Homo-oligomer: A and B are copies of this chain.
Amino acid sequence: MTTRHSRDDVVATALDLLDEHGLADLTMRRLAAALDVQASALYWHVPNKQSLLALVADRILERARPVEHDHDWPARLRAESGALRDALLAYRDGAEVVSSTIALGLGASAAWVRLLEATATSDATLDERELAASVLLEFIVGHVFREQQQSHADAVGAAAPERALDRDLDGGRVFGFGVDLIVDGFRARVGARA
């Protein structure tokens, strides 16, 4: 009678477990054990593991730091991208969790809206701004996914880094370069009209 849990407890504990041991070790049974409960008890709080992960993904993205709106849109877009990357990096396997729920239309729409809003003062059409937000979000999540996969692979002990793809642990040069290319490409497209 001491430990009756809420859905919030379950999600919070899942987030802790994720950060400590990674997604592979975030099983319903381990989560239950961390809550001092049988695995079957989790299914009272959540319909299945997938939905649980969607809740975890939302929590991860919620923590993305807010960004100042007083710069021009390219600077703001870069700042939003950096904030999202940092949020994903803040939890072990954060990008993979978010990626796995993004297709379900469950998570990440708040993040998408932030990227969309960032270009509000540009001369682009809404359609272009939506496409750009999607491109950027996909690049960000995909990139951090690979960043985190890599540091895990390195921990396990793989081959020595050779390609640029592999030697990106030095603070995300590929990330910055990619965001710059996308933002510059968007500016070129919009500017060509103005």
Q: A130-B164, A132-B181, A185-B180 are in contact. Are A103 and B142 (CB under 8 A)?
A: no
Residues of B within 8 A of A166 (CB): 105
Does A56 lie at the interface of the complex (its beta carbon under 8 Å from any beta carbon of B)? no
Count residues of A near B (Cβ-Cβ below 8 Å). Answer: 52
Residues of B within 8 A of A105 (CB): 153, 158-159, 161-163, 166
Does A135 lie at the interface of the complex (its beta carbon under 8 Å from any beta carbon of B)? yes
What residue in chain B is nearest A151 (Cβ atoms)? Answer: B103
What residue in chain B is nearest A131 (Cβ atoms)? Answer: B177
State the Cβ distance, A34 to closest chain B Cβ, in Å: 26
| Given A104-B153, A135-B177, A185-B188, 17 more pairs with CB closer than 8 A | A102-B149, A103-B152, A104-B158, A105-B162, A132-B177, A133-B165, A134-B163, A137-B165, A138-B139, A138-B143, A141-B142, A181-B181, A181-B189, A182-B185, A183-B185, A185-B186, A188-B188
